[in-house]
């Protein structure tokens, strides 16, 4: 943040902090980029659990309509006012060092993944800019509660997040949708893309490279479509969802009737549910698709370089997913896929990490947060 802007922000938050706290909750997801993830799942439950509370969502696009909430622009003067006067904050990403919490406020950090492959926070400190580290440490210091979806994540919070406060191991609220009936989600995605419910979808969702290199994304869409059609029958389409870090360079993909732009859809978890297959590289979405019992293939053309750059928590031998280093291997992995063996590997892996396998994360978290925060 610019020095002058930092001074103005500090002044506004301190000035607004002179006002009384209100029966109000402020939500944010992915720095205001979307109405999604665990904050969304908690909000949907909280509207019923605390009907008298005023709800505010901070969004980069304040024209977005969210039923039951007042939407304001992320990082605006209005956003600072609501942050300073609300009893409750719910977020899935770090708040910056510029955010000041006052006595009587309750801050819930949901984070945005049950499991991580790539090392994060203190475990990747040498790879992170100083401003992020300062903000992350501040965020952990002011947080009252972290939500965890597994025993592994609870361990990770304690060892890598500079956090010593309370952890509620209830299952991440966003994961509830992976365990229920999701026909309406399937219909919603098909309607958005104007495709038939009979079409089978493959979600290709790679992560980014810090140098924004595009060679790692040279996946053979046509052969994948042909192979899946032979292997499992039916008509197939591919949704390509690029990481926000490279969406400004997405012109290298030529979209058509069977290669669709998955980046324009708001919620990746809904795309996972609507798809039969996920192809990714090192993205944590592999673990979300695992919970939804989707077929997951890892397409990792730069594996050695990426490991050297980031470092992983798990070896690839520990993961339950087929791994391909090139297009030829990927096609072979699809052809030889054994779903029974795959599901057994998932069962063993989730038992190892102590994953919360249920659909009650949002309700459990909401009940706990309402009691602790005092909203009504």
pLDDT tens for residues 4-14? 777 788 888 88
Return the ∠ at Cα 176 (arms to 206 and 360), rounded to 5°: 150
Mean pLDDT of 79-91: 97
- DSSP symbol at 125: G
Q: pTM to 2 decimals? A: 0.92
Mean pLDDT of 338-359: 95
Q: Is residue 82 pLDDT above 90, yes or no?
A: yes
Q: Which of 15-19, 66-70, 139-143, 370-374 has the lowest mean pLDDT?
A: 15-19
pLDDT digits (tens, 9 = 90+) for 183-192: 899 999 999 9
Q: What's residue 211's pLDDT?
A: 64
d(CA 94, CA 117): 19
Which residue has tokens 């719910």?
90
Q: What's residue 252's pLDDT?
A: 73
Q: Where are the beta strands (DSSP E) in 232-349?
A: 236-240, 259-261, 277-280, 295-299, 323-324
pLDDT digits (tens, 9 = 90+) for 142-173: 999 999 999 999 999 999 999 999 999 999 99
Q: Is residue 249 pLDDT above 70, yes or no?
A: no
pLDDT digits (tens, 9 = 90+) for 45-68: 999 999 999 999 999 999 999 999
Is pLDDT larger for residue 213 or for residue 197?
Answer: 197
Q: What's residue 207's pLDDT?
A: 87
Question: Which domains are seen in the chain, by residue range?
Answer: 3-176+359-373 (3.40.50.11820), 181-353 (3.40.50.12580)
d(CA 161, CA 146): 10
Other beta carbons within 10 angstroms of residue 148's beta carbon come to 23
Q: What's residue 9's pLDDT?
A: 84
Q: What's residue 302's pLDDT?
A: 86
Q: Is residue 370 pLDDT above 90, yes or no?
A: yes
Which pLDDT band holds residue 257 (cuts at 50, 70, 90)?
A: very high
- In sequence order, the 6+-apart residues with CB closer than 8 A to the CB of 60 are 31, 32, 33, 73, 74
Average pLDDT over all residues of the chain: 93
């Amino acid at each position: 943040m610019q020095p002058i802007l930092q001074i103005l922000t500090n002044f506004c938050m301190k000035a607004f902090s002179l006002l009384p706290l209100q029966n109000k909750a402020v939500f944010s997801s992915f720095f205001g980029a979307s109405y999604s993830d665990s904050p969304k799942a908690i909000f949907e439950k909280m509207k019923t659990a605390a009907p008298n509370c005023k709800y505010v969502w901070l969004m980069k696009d304040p024209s977005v309509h969210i039923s039951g909430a007042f939407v304001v622009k992320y990082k605006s003067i209005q956003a600072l006012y609501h942050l300073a006067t609300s009893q409750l904050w719910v977020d899935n990403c770090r708040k910056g060092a510029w955010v000041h919490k006052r006595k009587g406020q309750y801050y819930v950090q949901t984070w945005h993944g049950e499991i991580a492959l790539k090392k994060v926070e203190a475990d990747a400190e040498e790879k992170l800019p100083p401003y992020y580290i300062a903000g992350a440490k501040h965020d952990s210091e002011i947080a009252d509660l972290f939500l965890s979806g597994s025993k592994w994540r609870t361990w990770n919070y304690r060892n890598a997040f500079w956090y010593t406060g309370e952890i509620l191991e209830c299952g991440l609220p966003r994961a509830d949708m992976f365990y229920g009936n999701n026909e309406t989600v399937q219909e919603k995605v098909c309607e958005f893309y104007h495709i038939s419910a009979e079409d089978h979808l493959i979600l290709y969702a790679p992560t980014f490279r810090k140098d924004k290199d595009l060679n790692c994304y040279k996946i053979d869409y046509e052969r994948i479509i042909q192979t899946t059609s032979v292997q499992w029958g039916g008509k197939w389409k591919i949704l390509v969802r690029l990481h926000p870090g490279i969406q400004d360079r997405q012109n290298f993909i030529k979209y058509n009737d069977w290669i669709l732009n998955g980046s324009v859809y708001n919620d990746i978890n809904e795309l996972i549910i609507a798809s039969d297959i996920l192809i990714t590289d090192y993205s944590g979405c592999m673990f979300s698709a695992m919970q939804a019992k989707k077929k997951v293939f890892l397409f990792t053309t730069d594996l050695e370089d990426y490991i050297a750059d980031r470092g992983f928590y798990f070896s690839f031998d520990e993961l339950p997913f087929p791994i391909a280093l090139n297009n030829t291997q990927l096609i072979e992995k699809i052809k030889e896929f054994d779903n029974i063996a795959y599901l057994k590997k998932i069962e063993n892996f989730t038992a190892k990490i102590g994953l919360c396998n249920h659909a009650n994360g949002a309700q459990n978290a909401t009940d706990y947060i309402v009691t602790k925060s005092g909203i009504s």
